Amino acid sequence: MLLTISQTQTNDSENALDLGYLLHKNPANLNTVDLPFGVANVFYSEASEERCSAHLLLEINPVELVRGAQQLEQYVNDRPYVASSYLTVALGRIFGTALAGKCKKRPELVHAKLNLTAIVEVVRARGGAEVLTKLFEPLGYQVEATRLALDDRFPEWGESPYFRLCLSCTGTVHDLLTHLYVLLPVLDESKHYFVGEAEVDKLLRHGEGWLGRHPEQQLIISRYLKRRHSLMDQAVARLVEEARLLDESAEPGGDATAPEVAALAEQDLERPMTLHTHRLNQVAALLTTLQAKSVLDLGCGEGKLIRRLLADRRFEKVQGMDVSHRSLEIAAQRLHLETLAPRQRERIELIQGSLLYRDKRLEGFDAAALVEVIEHLDPARLIALERVLFEFARPRYILITTPNREYNVLFPTLPEGKFRHTDHRFEWTRAEFQDWATRMANRFGYSVRFEPVGPEDPQHGAPSQLAVFTQGVAK
Amino acid sequence: MKRLEVPELAVVALIGVSGSGKSTFARQHFLPSEILSSDFFRGLVSDDENDQSATPDAFDALYYLLEKRLTRGRLTVVDATNVRPEDRKRIVEVARKHHCLAVAIVINTPERLCQERNQQRSDRNFGAHVVRRQSADLKKGLRGLEREGFRYVHVLSDTSDLQVERIPLWTNKKDQTGPFDIIGDLHGCAAELRLLLEQLGWQRYDLAEPEQPWGAECWRHPEGRRAIFVGDLVDRGPHVLDCLRIVRNMITAGYAFCVAGNHDVKLMRWLRGKKVQIKHGLEQSIAEIEPLPPAERNHLASFLDSLISHYVFDDGRLVVAHAGLKEAMHGRSSGAVREFCLYGETTGETDEFGLPIRHNWAAEYRGRATVVYGHTPVPAPEWLNSTVNIDTGAVFGGSLTALRYPEREFLAIPAARQYAEPIRPIAPVADARTSQQVNDDVLDLEDVTGERIIETRLHRTVTIQAENSIAALEVMSRYAVDPHWLIYLPPTMSPSETSARETYLEYPTETFNYFRKNGVERVVCQEKHMGSRAVVIVCRDADAAQERFGVKDGRSGICYTRSGRPFFPNPAEESAFIARVSEAVTLAGFWDELETTWLCLDCELMPWSAKARELLQRQYAPVGASGIASLEAAVHTLQLSPVAAHLVPAFERRLSRVRAYREAYRRYCWPVTSLSDYKLAPFHLLASEGAVHTDRSHRWHMDTLQRLAAADPGLFVATPYREVAVQDMEQVQAATEWWETLTGQGGEGMVVKPLAFIEKGPKGLVQPALKCRGREYLRIIYGPEYTADDQLPRLRQRSVAGKRSLAAREFALGVEALERFVSRAPLRRVHECVFGVLALESEPIDPRL
């Protein structure tokens, strides 16, 4: 990976050789620095009063790269070649003085606005060129991004996620390095070290003065902190607090304040969840009406329905099942199983299991809920689920929700013929779902009725649909 | 010496006051592990054997252990005073729960002697009144022990000069290993019985001294076969007495066994003068028997009374009971066992004909023993989880069926006419598939999860850890094809040991050395195709698929990956692919030649990019693109700097390695726009009806499969191969050069296998295959720059031992799965093995091997 920083003289009062002082590296020398994970070389390809270009070339020790690898793909990866957190760590070590905004010999240069260019080969940018522009333009850079071909032999494979990034600006070296330091890992979206609370400090320290005003603040925080919600909340809270302190000292009025920005961001986060929340609330309310005392949450995922049921003491026993062991671990954490009061703890059971296998542990419950589960199964394997659920588990009530395919045309971003989720194996129209559910009811001795889930469109129905099965034939 | 009989499986309650010598007696006659002593358990829970406050806890622990032992069928002695009926009640209850006999052994030592012994013991400091009261309790209960439920009661006043003899249970005929002819419900169909016996090769002869009412007719088999009757000899049919005579005489002569049927018991009760309802064909029996003199009727009653509930034969591998028997009751005796054997397990409900609805115990049966039964007439005998009902309703105009064991062949004689009207019509089930296939639609979680120990023919047992099953359950449920199709998963394959040549990771020398060292003389070297491993199952048509695989998805074949995922996401594409494979199989004439309607092929499907396109787009191509761009920029920039220019050659070398890497993966990619862009290279014809072809040499597999390539050269690729005698260094050298050529042209390398397919060496199963991969190809595995001086030496330190152990276990499981499928085992038995392969794949092994 290679980072080039160039200064170009724009008038006689400037001297491009100042870059050497600012970076604290002599243009005449090759600087070789051993790092824990490899070797960095700093050298200049040109050094004159008109133009000066410094290069940081980083080679990663291959042993470092495979540390802790378990999957084959971890052995064949782009880490040695792209600008990642390795580069920013190297940046911090090698240009530490400049990054700290210091210059011993020529302190007056630190605040000098210079004509600077930075070229990064190669950056991986999730979200494409658009993200590069969104991140750097608000900071005053002119962004030039050249996308690399994935493989010119196979144009049908599409484009690569890589760019040669060229940033130009008139600004301080300190700002340039700071922005690169924070934003390169944001582009790459991966870090080679553990991201903990220290990372929040680091982000806020280097983001001081610009992060709070950056329109993509939310994106930067989220990616920099690897989407760890607890850390993101901390960062946002501290930014808001800093902004409040600033506000108090500043004049009233002006642009949108940081708290407003944070509130908007929160709304953004919540918006996509409303349908699911609605669905869960509807199922939970129905279970209450049915007076089910023991409930199976089949395909419980991370335990959102369980949490709702737990809040109501009328549910004496709630058993969540999922095929993913990882989901159950997260559910156990979210439900705080380890620290729950014994009386509460007794009411929950989380088990790993599959709806395609008969399971004695599923017998004897009042009700079972399958919230957005069946569409994740191959249609050919539904025959197993049908018997496992209706014949063997045989709860008194069964609640099944699944997307209504007719509604898909109302999602503006969903291409025609595509499913809502990449793992959906099918999505049913209302007629298809009702046909299946009615056949199940007849075959296994249940009666069934249907409810829409979510706001109903007169033509396409509601986004999701719910079938309520009751054991025994309706009178 | 006095003999004291104790059944081989029983709960033995020792009864006697403190100091009577119970523990001494127990130690003399039973194993230490068979004795559960209340004193000992008091000590275990409280550190003090005499702490009476610990008694309830001690007994809880004692009974817990008792139940565990009884579940496992171990005789157990309860060494406690047991002097009060309430103490003994729990013992009898537990014995009954586990269908074991309860035996009471009373040690009736004179009270005076007990008192003396207790006084001599420093740890027994209770007063004389305790023993006195125990003694009184004991005397009071002595006469009622049988009533309490003890089937054997021994009262001993002297325990010396005595021998405990373990007697086999009546049901235990484990020493009888057959072969057997097991015959269904007779119901007075003597004519059909005679025909059936003749057909089975039995010969009729007359007894020298016939007794009344039994007559002289008897049958024996010249090859020493034994007959087993599943009961219900009587009622409904025309020749009840003849049936009784033939069966009784054969039993007496030692040629037959018979278990009791519900009709036999009811007739016996009628004969004994009990009040029974005369219906369901009892009237026919009465009509024949009533004229007999009372003495003869008594003989009949005694004979019927002597029939026991069930038998366990052939070292536990065969169980015969009239209405079947669940595993927990095999070889046990209790009222409940007898009820089950006579009537089956009922749910307590009745159907529209007033007959009890039966719980389908056979659907849940998981035992290893074959269970043969009758009782409920069925249109034809059908295997379900190693159980089979052979009552084909002779008396109702069906047929009389015999099962030949161990051959597992059926032989049936159609009834001459219908003798009785069935209460419920004997109708075939609605589903066109077998009961086993319908049953197999739902597998039970208990059959795959938790720690599992799977017995395989090739590798003794393979253990699957619970945590590995967890990972497999998710893959199997979310991604795999319908388990009905999943009869095999290929094993992982180990590379050869790291080459002695410093610039290589793998080289043929080590591959051949391995086989030479393990005593394999001839190997086959096959070119390793770089595509995706694919298992292809192809049936003659969709009907054949339904018949053999029990699927209802309309497919006539399937193609899935090494982790059981469907290869073609698009069903139309899959069916076109299968149709094309099927045509080639037809052209090659395999259906008739192998007498089969289906084949299972182990293949490589190319191009790699067809299945791995996402992987190529997400990972392999990006590494090349970023590597080349990044290193090109580095070389270019370094060239501009005089102080850093000396670094240029190193970066140029790196650049050329990454370019070589890109060339390496590019060779295995080509666009697929239609079916004809695929290439299928089958290398094992794994199985067809009745046969797993792992007993054939790889030469046979190669020769046979080449005919597919001849039939459809557009789709099939014949795998280039050569045989090598590993002792012949000239041949080894030639094969090595062949490998050099293959890999020099960018080939992946070769796979070397013992020619005989399966070979056992001094250390067990020899690796069924080793791969030897080319230097350039390995860039895709070890990283573009793995050949660099700072990488290769480190990478050479690798161990293949774990990979080889895994490969051997997975291979054994895969072959086991096929063998079970071919022998028509229940799907869960097949699924257990493929699930096992998938579970083993989650073991942490260096994925680059």
Q: With respect to residue A334, please indicate whether it lies within any of the assigned structural domains.
A: yes
Q: With respect to residue A369, please indicate whether it lies within any of the assigned structural domains.
A: yes
At residue A268, the pLDDT reads: 46
Using the beta-carbon criterion (under 8 Å), do B445 and A149 form an inter-chain contact? no
At residue B18, the pLDDT reads: 87
Is residue B308 within 8 angstroms of chain A, CB to CB?
Answer: no
Using the beta-carbon criterion (under 8 Å), do B644 and A41 form an inter-chain contact? yes
Name the closest residue on chain A to residue B639, using Cα atoms. A45
Between positions 411 and 470 of B, the ones with CB within 8 A of A are 441-448, 470
Of B482, B626, B662, the CB nearest to A381: B482
- Chain B residues whose beta carbon lies within 8 Å of the beta carbon of residue A161: 622
Name the closest residue on chain B to residue A359, using Cα atoms. B445
Distance (Å, rounded) from C-alpha B641 to C-alpha B637? 7
Using the beta-carbon criterion (under 8 Å), do B630 and A81 form an inter-chain contact? yes
Between positions 625 and 664 of B, the ones with CB within 8 A of A are 625-627, 629-631, 633-634, 637-638, 640-641, 643-644, 647, 662
Which of B349, B468, B477 best probes binding to A when mutated, by most A CB atoms within 10 angstroms?
A: B477
Using the beta-carbon criterion (under 8 Å), do A76 and B617 form an inter-chain contact? no
Q: With respect to residue A252, please indicate whether it lies within any of the assigned structural domains.
A: no
Check if the interface score ipTM surpasses 0.90: no
Using the beta-carbon criterion (under 8 Å), do B470 and A29 form an inter-chain contact? no
Using the beta-carbon criterion (under 8 Å), do B478 and A124 form an inter-chain contact? no
Distance from CA of B803 to the nearest CA of A (A): 14
Using the beta-carbon criterion (under 8 Å), do B629 and A121 form an inter-chain contact? yes
Using the beta-carbon criterion (under 8 Å), do A154 and B669 form an inter-chain contact? yes
Q: What is the DSSP letter of B288?
A: H
Unique residue bearing structure tokens 């918006």: A271
- Chain B residues whose beta carbon lies within 8 Å of the beta carbon of residue A357: 442-445, 447-448, 473, 477
Which of B445, B476, B485, B639 best probes binding to A when mutated, by most A CB atoms within 10 angstroms?
A: B445
A163 and A59, same structural domain?
A: yes
pLDDT exceeds 60 at position A475: no
Is residue B381 within 8 angstroms of chain A, CB to CB?
Answer: no
Q: With respect to residue A120, please indicate whether it lies within any of the assigned structural domains.
A: yes
Using the beta-carbon criterion (under 8 Å), do B790 and A62 form an inter-chain contact? yes
DSSP B375-387: SS--SS--EETTE
A279 and A184, same structural domain?
A: no
Domain count, chain A: 2
Please give the structure tokens belonging to residue B531: 């595509």
Distance (Å, rounded) from C-alpha B754 to C-alpha B756? 5
Name the closest residue on chain B to residue A373, using Cα atoms. B478
Of A28, A57, A78, the CB nearest to B622: A78
Of A61, A323, A358, the CB nearest to B478: A323
A184 and A291, same structural domain?
A: no
At residue A400, the pLDDT reads: 96
- Chain B residues whose beta carbon lies within 8 Å of the beta carbon of residue A188: none
Using the beta-carbon criterion (under 8 Å), do A30 and B643 form an inter-chain contact? yes
Name the closest residue on chain A to residue B468, using Cα atoms. A325
Using the beta-carbon criterion (under 8 Å), do B641 and A30 form an inter-chain contact? yes
Q: With respect to residue A122, please indicate whether it lies within any of the assigned structural domains.
A: yes
Unique residue bearing structure tokens 């499969």: B705
Of A45, A160, A325, the CB nearest to B625: A160
A178 and A282, same structural domain?
A: no
- At A73, the pLDDT band (50, 70, 90 cuts) reads low
Judge contact between B739 and B759, C-beta under 8 A.
no
Using the beta-carbon criterion (under 8 Å), do A57 and B637 form an inter-chain contact? yes
* Domain boundary, last residue among A171, A193, A215: A193
Q: What is the pLDDT of residues A279-337, one digit of tens each?
A: 999 999 999 999 999 999 999 998 999 999 998 989 999 999 999 998 999 999 999 98
At residue A53, the pLDDT reads: 94
Of A55, A70, A353, the CB nearest to B637: A55
Which of A75, A388, A425 best probes binding to B when mutated, by most B CB atoms within 10 angstroms?
A: A75
A307 and A163, same structural domain?
A: no
| A58: enclosing H helix or E strand | strand A51-60
Domain holding A25, by residue range, is 2-193
Strands B679-688, B598-606: pairing is antiparallel
CATH label of the domain that carries residue A107: 3.30.1610.20
Q: What is the pLDDT of residues A391-405, one digit of tens each?
A: 999 999 999 999 999
* Domain boundary, last residue among A144, A173, A193: A193
Distances (CA, A) of B597 to A228, B600, B822: 56, 11, 12
A427 and A331, same structural domain?
A: yes
At residue A244, the pLDDT reads: 65
pLDDT exceeds 50 at position A255: no
A278 and A173, same structural domain?
A: no
A106 and A8, same structural domain?
A: yes
Contacts with A127 (C-beta within 8 Å, 6 or more apart), sequence order: none
pTM of the model: 0.81
Distances (CA, A) of B508 to A67, B719, B798: 30, 18, 17
pLDDT above 90 covers a percentage of chain A that reads 52
Contacts with A87 (C-beta within 8 Å, 6 or more apart), sequence order: A1, A3, A56, A58, A184
Using the beta-carbon criterion (under 8 Å), do B552 and A383 form an inter-chain contact? yes
Using the beta-carbon criterion (under 8 Å), do B622 and A75 form an inter-chain contact? no
Of B629, B780, B784, the CB nearest to A162: B629
Judge contact between B496 and B799, C-beta under 8 A.
no
CATH label of the domain that carries residue A354: 3.40.50.150
Distance from CA of B614 to the nearest CA of A (A): 9
Three-state DSSP string of B78-128:
EECCCCCHHHHHHHHHHHHHCCCEEEEEEECCCHHHHHHHHHHCCCCCCCH
At residue A262, the pLDDT reads: 47
Q: With respect to residue A455, please indicate whether it lies within any of the assigned structural domains.
A: yes
Q: What is the pLDDT of residues A332-386, one digit of tens each?
A: 999 998 888 888 899 999 999 999 999 999 999 999 999 999 999 988 889 899 9
A305 and A161, same structural domain?
A: no
- Chain B residues whose beta carbon lies within 8 Å of the beta carbon of residue A323: 473-474, 477-478
Unique residue bearing structure tokens 């709702």: A308
Q: With respect to residue A134, please indicate whether it lies within any of the assigned structural domains.
A: yes
* Domain boundary, last residue among A170, A193, A216: A193
At residue A254, the pLDDT reads: 38
pLDDT exceeds 60 at position A259: no
Using the beta-carbon criterion (under 8 Å), do A45 and B640 form an inter-chain contact? yes
At residue A272, the pLDDT reads: 52
At residue A246, the pLDDT reads: 58
Using the beta-carbon criterion (under 8 Å), do B671 and A156 form an inter-chain contact? yes
- Chain B residues whose beta carbon lies within 8 Å of the beta carbon of residue A325: 470-471, 474
At residue B646, the pLDDT reads: 93
* Run means of pLDDT, 10 residues per run, chain B, 849 residues: 90 91 92 94 92 92 96 95 91 94 92 85 76 88 90 87 91 94 96 96 94 93 96 95 96 96 96 91 93 93 95 96 94 91 80 71 90 93 91 94 94 94 74 79 88 88 90 91 95 94 92 94 94 95 93 92 90 94 96 96 93 88 94 94 92 93 91 90 96 96 96 94 95 96 90 95 90 92 87 86 93 96 92 95 84
Q: With respect to residue A216, please indicate whether it lies within any of the assigned structural domains.
A: no
Sign (positive/negative) of CA torsion B312, B314, B317, B323?
A: negative
Best CA proximity match to A29, nearest among A15, A47, A50:
A47
- At A109, the pLDDT band (50, 70, 90 cuts) reads confident
At residue B125, the pLDDT reads: 67
A301 and A177, same structural domain?
A: no
A278 and A186, same structural domain?
A: no
- Chain A residues whose beta carbon lies within 8 Å of the beta carbon of residue B619: 73, 76-77
Name the closest residue on chain B to residue A45, using Cα atoms. B641
Distance from CA of A75 to the nearest CA of B (A): 6
Name the closest residue on chain B to residue A355, using Cα atoms. B477
Other beta carbons within 10 angstroms of residue B804's beta carbon come to: 21
Please give the structure tokens belonging to residue B65: 């252990």
- Chain A residues whose beta carbon lies within 8 Å of the beta carbon of residue B447: 357
Is residue B623 within 8 angstroms of chain A, CB to CB?
Answer: yes
At residue A127, the pLDDT reads: 83
- Report the pLDDT averaged over residues A60-76: 68
Which of B438, B441, B442 best probes binding to A when mutated, by most A CB atoms within 10 angstroms?
A: B442
**CA Rg value for chain B:** 36
